[in-house]
Amino acid sequence: MESINPATGESLASYPEHTPEEVGAILDAAAAEFDLWRRVPIAQRAVPMRKLADILESRAAEWARLMTLETGKPIAASRAEIVKCAWVCRYYADEAEQMLADRHIAADRTKSFVHHEPLGVVLAVMPWNFPFWQVFRFAAPGLMAGNVGVLKHASNVSGCALAIEEAFREAGFPAGVFATLLVPGSRVGEALEHPGVVAATLTGSDLAGREVAAKAGSLLKKTVLELGGSDPYIVLEDADVDAAASTCAASRMINAGQSCIAAKRFIVHAAVYDAWLERFVAAMGAMEMGDPLDEGTMLGSMARVDLRDELHDQVVASVEAGATLILGGTVPDGPGAFYPPTVLTDVAPGMPAYEEEMFGPVAAVLKATSEEEAIAMANDTPFGLGAAVFTGDLARGERIAAEQLEAGACFVNTFVASDPRLPFGGIKLSGYGRELADLGIMEFVNQKTVVVA
């Protein structure tokens, strides 16, 4: 398993793949540790979790550099990701005990209540795009609930996977409470079949989600899936055009566009279309590509050359089908997985830019003539992760976000973002289940009904 710097094409390191025997031993150790960890009081579990937050912050520069080298993410964004991981650790260290407290229910008995117990070993299958955050948003609530976690990370970020395991060890978590498996995706089923593994959480493509869900379903093991998105952003005729354009551009370019909740499709009312497009293209074009290790770089490389080439093929196919290329759309000369900010207009059904997730710095722009048409376009997707609406009427925006957009997270006048305090997850082909907040910690606990006559 090799890590390659996507900005240069140079090999960073090679990691030996765990053998089936090693995988079995790691999972056996996790299952054995669960019987001990589940009995540790929540307040005591919080002690290493808070220390973990301190360690993340103290080693942020070191691990941010590793993250940037393995993914091409700008160094400033990598540091911010580490800091966000510390936040989620402290959040659950502070809140888990209250979240998991017995919930008493009035019934025709002396006492009746819901008691929360951990399930066991949870397998976390995680992607490369946010190699620290994706892991910690599962691990912090999961471990505070008394579960233990085993990470199967993306093969191209094995260095990050091992660094995360090191962080848990340094914080004082017992060895079996969090461990990393160095195996390719083709061997996830092997881990799922282990009798100690009781559930799995996956963040990735809908194809990967189908495969893991099918395998877990055949074993009657629970899953939480956070899959792809084709997030629509609606700009209505009464929106602040300048603010909407800059916010839309910033959201589209999060992590070089390689984010499930980055804006993908922009549906703009005809009354403000020309003014918004002019400002949006200017904002996109101002984000120059550069060395991800430079502090001022806003757009680094994509994570792999094959992913960059796949994205370019989607752009070419969309243009051949009638889309208009307004900006970018050319593979740069030289090494690395770089791709420029790209804007497509005249996007219509049947084109990859309309039908598929564009996982990179490519924006698809559509024109709508009414609020109703804009909402219909927004919902005309098999995905349902995030969505946003821009309007000068907050009540109107709230109504559309709450009642009419088909997504797991809908924002008004700002871009979609994850927050430890807010539930996160999707519907339709974007998956099921929730991470973060109180709903996230409840996904992997037994909500046991207890009745005393």
**Residue 67: pLDDT band with limits 50, 70, 90:** very high
**Mean pLDDT, all residues of the chain:** 98
pLDDT at 422: 98
Domains of the chain are: 2-227+430-452 (3.40.605.10), 232-419 (3.40.309.10)
pLDDT at 89: 99
Q: Which residues contact 175 (CB under 8 A, 6 or more apart)?
A: 29, 33, 169
Mark out the alpha helices in 101-240 (DSSP H runs).
133-144, 158-171, 188-192, 206-218
Catalytic residues, which ones?
226, 260
Max CA distance (Å), the chain = 75
Count of C-beta atoms within a 10 Å radius of residue 188? 21
- 5 and 12 in contact (C-beta within 8 Å)? yes
Q: Which residues contact 19 (CB under 8 A, 6 or more apart)?
A: none
**Residue 318: pLDDT band with limits 50, 70, 90:** very high
Mark out the alpha helices in 38-173 (DSSP H runs).
42-58, 60-71, 75-99, 133-144, 158-171
C-alpha 210/C-alpha 223 separation (Å) is: 11
Mean pLDDT of 372-386: 98
pLDDT in tens, 198-211: 999 999 999 999 99
Task: Provide the whole-model pTM.
Answer: 0.97
Mean pLDDT of 186-191: 96
